[in-house]
Amino acid sequence: MTPPRPAELYARALEERSIFVRREDGGRRSVPIDTWLAPPTAADRRVLDRAVGPVLDVGCGPGRHALALARREVAAVGVDIAPAAIRRARDRGARVLLASVFDPLPGAGQWQTALLLDGNIGIGGRPVPLLGRVRSLLAPGGRILCELGRPGSATRCELIALEDAEGVRSTWFAWARVSVDGLPPMAERARLEIDEIWESGSRWFAQLSSASEGRGLTLNRRCRTAPPPPVPEWPATTAAVAASAPRSSPPRPRRPAARTAARSARSLPS
Ligand SMILES: C[S@@+](CC[C@H](N)C(=O)[O-])C[C@H]1O[C@@H](n2cnc3c(N)ncnc32)[C@H](O)[C@@H]1O
């Protein structure tokens, strides 16, 4: 029998809340679906404090970070390749796109912040091209907020599969793990500076930004505080991409509330 695609098991897991990651070496761990469906933790909220809108949440899953940002009136869009995750995120009220981060995306070069949280620096199994791709989506002076493995943990690319409680396993796909120690050479190759690395609630995070010409890698540089330039209105193109995702409930309004737009004085890139 042909193994199911990861997206099929992921869709079931969002309903049944039980799914595992199987590694090539035979190891297995459970996927924290409940965490993805729960409100952000204190550590998440502290990372989100650094997010300047408009924010692109890469690999948003069911949308907890994009949603939390919207509730703070920070313009945010999630992007994910899993239709079921996008449906769930939209049902919860998050603004999302069904697409891969490597697809053409609206607002390239205009996002002030990109999130790569909860292991998403591993998307695609090649962190340097991923970081380079995400950098290319950022506005000048934009930042990436990413989550890392603790110091001393492995930095490696691996093949993984999703597996349900009955042992039904998906096709294998590439993923990467990047520890705090593994980040600097990758950031340098992706032409990113590490602004800061911090621990929060036993999790590790970094803030990265585009390296300026002629400047080497720096650690623990203070975060910039200059306000970002205004960006164009929430676009028809983004709405069109969002509309292409299958829906399980009526679509939510995609334009930011007038109050939100007025308060943030900023909207989403086209
Ligand atoms: C570890 S989960 C993170 C979920 C979410 N960020 C959270 O913390 O609640 C990784 C997510 O990345 C998505 N993903 C995998 N490859 C992707 C790609 N190429 N582009 C966009 N999303 C991708 C998966 O579908 C999945 O929802």
Per-residue pLDDT tens digits for 74-86? 999 999 999 999 9
Whose alpha carbon is nearest atom 27 of ligand 1?
61
CATH number for the domain that contains residue 143: 3.40.50.150
For the stretch 96-154, pLDDT in tens is 999 999 999 999 999 999 999 999 999 999 999 999 999 999 999 999 999 999 999 99
Task: Supply the pLDDT for residue 137.
Answer: 98
Q: Which of 44, 45, 80, 117 to mutate to test the pocket of ligand 1 (most atoms within 8 A of CB)?
A: 80
Task: Extract the tokens encoding 222.
Answer: 């203070």
* Binding site membership of 64 for ligand 1 (Cβ less than 6 Å): yes
Task: Supply the pLDDT for residue 226.
Answer: 36
Q: Is residue 98 part of a domain?
A: yes
pTM above 0.85, yes or no: no
Partners of 158 in beta bridges:
175
Q: Which of 34, 81, 102 to mutate to test the pocket of ligand 1 (most atoms within 8 A of CB)?
A: 81
Q: Which of 48, 56, 60 to mutate to test the pocket of ligand 1 (most atoms within 8 A of CB)?
A: 60
* Burial (CB count <10 Å: 0-12, 13-18, 19+), residue 229: exposed
Which ligand 1 atom is nearest residue 6's CA? Answer: 25
Q: Please, what sign has the CA dihedral across residues 238, 241, 243, 245?
A: negative
Note down the domain range covering 144.
6-265
Distance between CA 116 and CA 137 in Å, rounded? 13
- In 98-219, which residue ranges form alpha helices assigned H by DSSP? 127-137, 183-189
* Binding site membership of 120 for ligand 1 (Cβ less than 6 Å): yes
Reported in sequence order, the residue ranges of 211-252 that DSSP labels E, i.e. its strands, are: none
Tell me, what DSSP letter sits at residue 246?
A: -
Tell me, what DSSP letter sits at residue 77?
A: E
Query: What is the 201 CA–ligand 1 centroid distance (Å)?
Result: 22
Query: What is the 147 CA–ligand 1 centroid distance (Å)?
Result: 13
Whose alpha carbon is nearest atom 10 of ligand 1?
59
List the single range of 16-25, 51-60, 200-209, 253-262 with lowest mean pLDDT. Answer: 253-262
Q: Is residue 270 part of a domain?
A: no
For the stretch 172-212, pLDDT in tens is 999 999 999 999 999 999 999 999 999 999 999 999 998 76
Q: Is residue 120 part of a domain?
A: yes
For the stretch 202-238, pLDDT in tens is 999 999 998 764 444 444 333 333 333 333 333 333 3
Q: Is residue 1 part of a domain?
A: no
- In 53-205, which residue ranges form alpha helices assigned H by DSSP? 64-71, 83-91, 127-137, 183-189
Task: Supply the pLDDT for residue 126.
Answer: 97
Tell me, what DSSP letter sits at residue 179?
A: B
**What CA dihedral angle connects 38, 39, 41 and 45, to 10 degrees?**
150
**What CA dihedral angle connects 103, 104, 106 and 112, to 10 degrees?**
70
Distance between CA 227 and CA 112 in Å, rounded? 10
Number of domains the chain is built from = 1
* Binding site membership of 118 for ligand 1 (Cβ less than 6 Å): yes
* Binding site membership of 81 for ligand 1 (Cβ less than 6 Å): yes
Residue 13 predicted with pLDDT over 50? yes
Task: Supply the pLDDT for residue 237.
Answer: 33
